[in-house]
A and B are shown apart, each in its own frame.
Chain A
């Protein structure tokens, strides 16, 4: 305990030291840095992080356009958040009064945050803010200035050659601005009324220069008169000149301007004219990638939005890491899923190297690892049971998640504690400008989310919830069944409070809760819950240094009530809690070198089991297993170094310390962990990679079921249960075609695991005070080949992945009868061949179809080797073969879906879409499990298929 406290304070001290270091950071050359930044940031600069825009003004329907002068983009500069962006292509919409800019690299039309624009220039004119709009500053004098305010409004349609055209009428208003206010001027007379003392001079000047005040000449004439007037005014008024906005030529941190360019991709929103119009979120990958918005063209039909095709999978060619997958939940929309529910976990399961025990099973296995060897993070919080309803649904609401990263091999040094993979999900933040929301209804579940801007541009709140209404299904069971009174249901809630303190500091608070409950009769009840909460402070100390400090709590519990016999009615419960404090610092030493370092501290608090009586007459004694506590800490440093244009290197070191605090079994473990990967670009579109990493795991799931079940318990390492340790080496080849339409990734790996926790025969895993006697550490090895071919863009897009993977375990423990005689045996997740195809074909912008194909070798299983007769029971009983000596039949499934995007009418305030299709269209009886029954002396095996027939599904989604 003492050691643990000391370690915490040591880490806190380090954190403070690092923060001070950030304050001392220097900026050697502001201007050059800024230019470098603009070149580097490109489309990802803060100015371009806005809504992607498409127009609804079609030349075939309209006689005019909504822009200041013409539809073309004009080069100018924009002062955005005090930073002047030079050479910006822009135009000004005077119907909506919005400044539109063209991204420099890809040429997307983007709507920057209008509130952040100080001024802009276009065609040599300066446009300045005038309330909520911009006006053109035609003249800025000593005492007065002259502005032109232009608006356009819809007028009656015009019929030309039997075709009806719409048109806009342009209104220009001219304003003279002086110390005591703004005054509209229309002609000579209005100016004279403002300055009667110069009445004659003004008239003379107008006559001298033949100034006209009608039509197109009015503006020019008024401007010339204003210039003349300014010269007439006494010099004493010079001090009172209204000065325009002074541009601050200051350096802004790159990280702030790009807002996490390295880890986040900018989000654009397609946005039709008018602020209440329909929106559709689309994603564009950042520079590393090749694909993104395939087309962002004006729509072909008036009144309707054009389609934006999204493929945000990041290209793997240019990155140094191996075995990394990143995607956004929005991609799931078109992938057919059972019961029509978009599901992150199901999406992950289609990736190479990720396997499951069945098509509706809980948990997943990455490259031969067990389900508990995956660290699942949601906004930094650890989820110990990420599934609802035993795996039918994942516990994540896609509306509340921004993006997903899965690290299978090159795991960044900032992550640790699991030996197979890290799945990191970043919570979505609500818009700070506008209200948004969505509703979705499926066969079994419904979900909704709401984005609330509490304080515009500063504080927002995202709320998301999902629930099921499956109780009615249980009622469909015949009354004579003992399960007629059963109940089953779940819900999950997400909340994200995002606070922009200022330009450099951001605070986010995340909360997550989920609960599952089910009962089969009135006498039993099962339930489990996840509760997570954390706060995160992001600070951008300079363009080179940023920090993220987060702290929070994770909680998981389950309970099982059994009340059938009142005298033995009891509740079994388990609880796991952990508090964490993390620090992550990113230091960009130079253009080619980025370093990350920090710490991670975890305090575990387990209640391994509590058995307590229910009711007054229960004779069950209250029994609680001794609480278990432990402290896990880690310091890490990682550096990504671009040695030259072809060669990149990423090296990391993580030093983990674990201190068990359990009385009588205290033990400290400490070990370094190595993370290394390097890539070499053979050509611009081909790369080779090599990676190696080691991992340690100090918390272990204790289970004897094939997949994660609600009553799985977790235990901590101690003097008798050693930490799990794993290392993995791999190599990969990445290639993409020149036009970046196709990308191929191939990786091979070899992995070793030790102290892989498994159980001995007849082990008692629940309420066992001496659990360490019933479990043992096995050795594991896995190797395989993964190939993925992606087509991220085009009418036909998707990917094909194939993996050959083997996983074996071996029990080397002389103290117990070893499983299978101590030989290597197939792990539960050993499924050598797996093929996945996910394809989407777009017929038109509104209609598309998707296909999901899945083939996998059957999983290993243990089957009865024979039977023997028990004279006491008077029945035949089975006895079993060696563990996992046989296999279930192979799985093969095809799913199809059809997606309709209804028309996006101009006046519509909501956006909705349908998706319908068929899951398992072939109706193949894929084996979910095999079980055996003894009937009439015969042992008969049965194959259970969960989705044994084609299952139609439909889902309706609404967004506003």
Chain B
């Protein structure tokens, strides 16, 4: 509910901002160390898919680790793939396996080069999960054994339709999904992910470019005005069919794209994945989301420990995580093409003035983020050079984040 957020906001705004009486100061609680260094497990057991479990441990609230410490560097806070650093909160020495109630066991391999964030990856392919068989994750660490709650595979209902809607030209585009009714008629709890690609054309096309090595303007080595970018969901999208007619999601908004977002420029493609989850996992995810977005306010629900389904067998020691068992994944894809929605470019292309060009060297302009748009030489030996920001002609620029490689599935 949005209410949780708005209560505190009301107070801050109405009583605080308006009357100028409230104030906000830092608060540091003196935390006991008994609750530190807890095992954290991320990941679930997937049928016919490579299962990846990230193991790490908790640290103090005021820990001094920043993005770089967890391998999240780079311009957008997303690093390229590399091994997580050796630090106190990554768990390297665990024995991890997936167990089945039919006696099967699937040991996971430590793959320290997977991921790049906090948490050491342990991977295994468990093949096809069988109906009626319960599966769970087992972690052996420092003479302690942790196990998740055994659970039968849960199967997602098919996706009935994937569509989009833009209520007004100046509003965002909603990606909507509808599911088929469940066989049992029971409420469906689902978790959604998506992968997306979009096609970009830069405003202008350049056939010449400045080469900083030779300090010359040369013909382009590759056409850079056309490319494709991709991304994937980076949040937990949860849905509960209970409020909907026939206990099925109908035109349920998964996410939205702003009307000035580059993704809508030419052609947008999304591939949606649906996983069925248990009600307990749904509550766990919800509570985690709630506690991370709004914590401790007097009008917000009281925080409480996460209802993890991972327990230590030997000691009364907490662990954090919820390992679900997915029997299948339902997918659906969709294109949104230019003209189907209203898109307003967020930037207007421009060239820099001749005076600016004259004042600086080509190399200075290059370093300042400009590139050659046009270069014309005249018979009298004079040349006319027009410079523009790189993003106007190169879709690989950070503004577009494209690659020139066309996705194999992409259709015209």
Contacts and interface: CB of A to CB of B under 8 A. Distances in A.
Interface of A: 357-358, 360-361, 389-390, 392, 470, 473-474, 476-477, 481, 483, 486, 488, 518, 520, 524, 526, 560, 562, 565-568, 570, 611, 619-621, 623, 704-707, 709, 711, 761-762, 764, 766-767, 817, 819, 821, 828, 861-875, 877-883, 886, 925, 927-934, 936-949, 951
Interface stretch (B94-102, B196-204, B300-308, B349-357): B300-308
B146 interface: no
B305 to A, nearest CB: 5
B299 A705 contact: yes
Contacts of A828: 302
Interface of B: 1-3, 6-29, 31-32, 35-36, 38, 40, 42, 54, 56-63, 65-67, 70, 72, 77-78, 89, 115, 117-119, 165, 167, 174, 176, 234-236, 242-246, 250-253, 283-284, 286-288, 291-292, 294-307, 316, 320
9 contacts: A567-B252, A862-B302, A865-B58, A868-B320, A871-B119, A877-B288, A938-B62, A943-B27, A949-B20
A483 B291 contact: no
A371 B218 CA distance: 78
Nearest to B249: A619
Contacts of B246: 621
A473 B18 contact: yes
Contact of A864 (B6, B16, B295, B307): B295
Contacts of B245: 619-621
A524 B16 CA distance: 21
Contacts of A567: 165, 174, 176, 250-253
A350 B71 CA distance: 54
Nearest to B304: A761
Given A520-B9, A761-B287, A879-B305, 16 more contacts: A476-B17, A567-B174, A705-B298, A762-B304, A767-B242, A867-B61, A869-B56, A872-B235, A883-B305, A938-B66, A941-B61, A942-B25, A943-B26, A947-B21, A947-B22, A949-B20
A26 to B, nearest CB: 60
Nearest to A942: B24
Nearest to B119: A871
B193 to A, nearest CB: 9
Contact of B301 (A560, A566, A705, A861): A705
Contacts of B176: 567
Contacts of B26: 940-943
Given A867-B61, A949-B21, A944 B11 contact: yes
A699 B387 CA distance: 75
A391 to B, nearest CB: 9
Contact of A390 (B11, B23, B63, B243): B11
A866 B61 contact: yes
B23 A945 contact: yes
Contacts of B24: 942-945
B13 A477 contact: yes
A762 B307 contact: yes
Contact of B22 (A570, A762, A867, A945): A945
B192 to A, nearest CB: 12
Given A868-B40, A880-B304, A520 B6 contact: yes
B118 A869 contact: yes
Contacts of A762: 283-284, 286-287, 304, 306-307
Contacts of A621: 243-246
A862 B20 contact: no
Contacts of A565: 174, 253
Contact of B21 (A623, A767, A879, A946): A946
A871 B41 CA distance: 10
In this complex, the member of B3, B236, B242, B244 whose beta carbon has the largest number of chain A beta carbons within 10 angstroms is: B3
A925 B307 contact: no
B296 A874 contact: no
Contacts of B78: 874
Contact of B291 (A390, A875, A880): A880
A941 B29 contact: yes
Contacts of B165: 567
A486 B31 CA distance: 39
In this complex, the member of A872, A875, A879, A942 whose beta carbon has the largest number of chain B beta carbons within 10 angstroms is: A879
A877 B291 contact: yes
- The list of the 7 closest CB pairs from A to B, nearest first, reads A869-B118, A948-B23, A621-B245, A941-B27, A865-B35, A929-B298, A762-B283
Contacts of B9: 483, 520
B77 A874 contact: yes
A949 B6 CA distance: 23
B344 to A, nearest CB: 19
B28 to A, nearest CB: 6
A821 B316 CA distance: 10
B15 A946 contact: yes
B58 A868 contact: yes
B7 to A, nearest CB: 7
A905 B223 CA distance: 94
Contacts of B283: 762, 764
